[in-house]
Amino acid sequence: MKVNELFDLTGKVALITGGGRGLGEQIAEVYAEMGCELALCSRKKESCDGVAERLSNEYGIKAKGYALDVTNEEQVKSVVNKVLADFEKVDILVNNSGATWGAPVEEMPLEAWNKVMNVNVTGTFLLSKAVGKHMIEQNHGKIINIASAAGLTVRPPEVTNTIGYTTSKAAVIHFTKDLAIKWARHNIYVNAIAPGMFRTKMTKGTLEQKEEKVVETIPLRKIGDENMLKGAAIYLATQASDFVTGTVLSVDGGSTL
């Protein structure tokens, strides 16, 4: 098989949560470029609609936006059923929706902790469960969980102070490994990407206040740009990674070394 065939996604369907902006939009773009059809989900449907329209026009693929609160099981079931009705299958699930909250541990509200855990951990579980049932029936699937370098290491509060986020992403990493061994018999690959510091809406506040300190923790001494996650995302979604499951691919400039 030629290398370009290993990375081809023609005829595949990907469901991407948080697909209307940031890392989710970047992943959607590289999938579209490789021929993948896209179901983009987030609470802000209009953002997903805009990305879906742009990518459809640019790459000639089918793409559609859906409104989804990943913490609501009934909504998750409903949207997955709509996607299956619209696209007939889901080959790739990218659990990208995420939330964070910055505060010292001693001052963090329980409500904030619960919100972050519900979106990052429970949302990943609910989507994997709903889409996984379909993937088990078709005996194939690729699940990519967007974890974080923050789930692999710790930093002093002068650098980051988001214990709910770091804890949730560590949970996503363990969930990835456990689910990979549970569903390997169904030919379902479950992997995670652990991005380091990228320029997104979520990180804007931290970088505005502490960019110099953050960069000092990154051996490559730079912040991730809009292209740096695409290679990892396409690799884990395609035949190129057909002997890889339960792994965590860090895309972090070396910050977890």
Q: How confident is the model at residue 107 (pLDDT cuts 50, 70, 90)?
A: very high
Name the catalytic one among 59, 165, 189, 235. Answer: 165
Share of the chain above pLDDT 70, in %: 100
Residues with Cβ within 8 Å of 62's Cβ and at least 6 positions away in sequence, in order, are: 37, 38, 56, 87
Class of domain 3-251: alpha beta
φ, ψ (nearest 5 deg) of residue 37 = -85, 150
CA angle, corner 102, sides to 98 and 105, nearest 5? 115
Where are the chain's structural domains?
Answer: 3-251
Q: How confident is the model at residue 206 (pLDDT cuts 50, 70, 90)?
A: confident
207 has a pLDDT exceeding 80: no
**Is the pLDDT reported for residue 71 higher than 90?**
yes
Cα first-last separation, the chain = 34
- The mean of the pLDDT values for the chain is 95
Is 165 in the active site? yes
Pairwise CA distance, residues 9 & 20, whole Å: 20
Query: Interior CA angle at 154 toward 210 and 166, to 5°?
Result: 85
Taking the C-alpha atoms of residue 105 and residue 7, their distance in angstroms, rounded to an integer, is: 43
pLDDT at residue 1, rounded to an integer: 86
pLDDT score, position 155? 86
Task: Give the pLDDT score at 14.
Answer: 98
Percent of the chain predicted with pLDDT > 90: 87
Q: What is the pLDDT of residues 132-154, one digit of tens each?
A: 999 999 999 999 999 999 999 99
Supply the DSSP string of 155-174, one letter for each residue. --TTT---HHHHHHHHHHHH
Residue 195 has pLDDT above 90, yes or no: yes
- Residues 6 or more apart whose Cβ sits within 8 Å of residue 35: 8, 9, 10, 11, 12, 59, 61
For the chain, give the number of residues: 257
Residues whose CB falls within 8 Å of the CB of residue 19, separated by 6 or more in sequence, listed in order: 25, 27, 28, 38, 40, 41, 42, 48, 51, 65, 94, 96
Question: Angle at CA 92, nearest 5°, toward 223 and 23?
Answer: 20
Q: What are the pLDDT digits (tens) for 221-255?
A: 999 999 999 999 999 999 999 999 999 999 999 99
Q: What mean pLDDT is predicted for residues 36-49?
A: 97
* Two structure tokens written together for 254: 């070396």
pLDDT at residue 67 tops 90: yes
* Residue 208 scores a pLDDT above 80: no
- What is the reported pTM? 0.95
Structure tokens given for 88:
């007939």
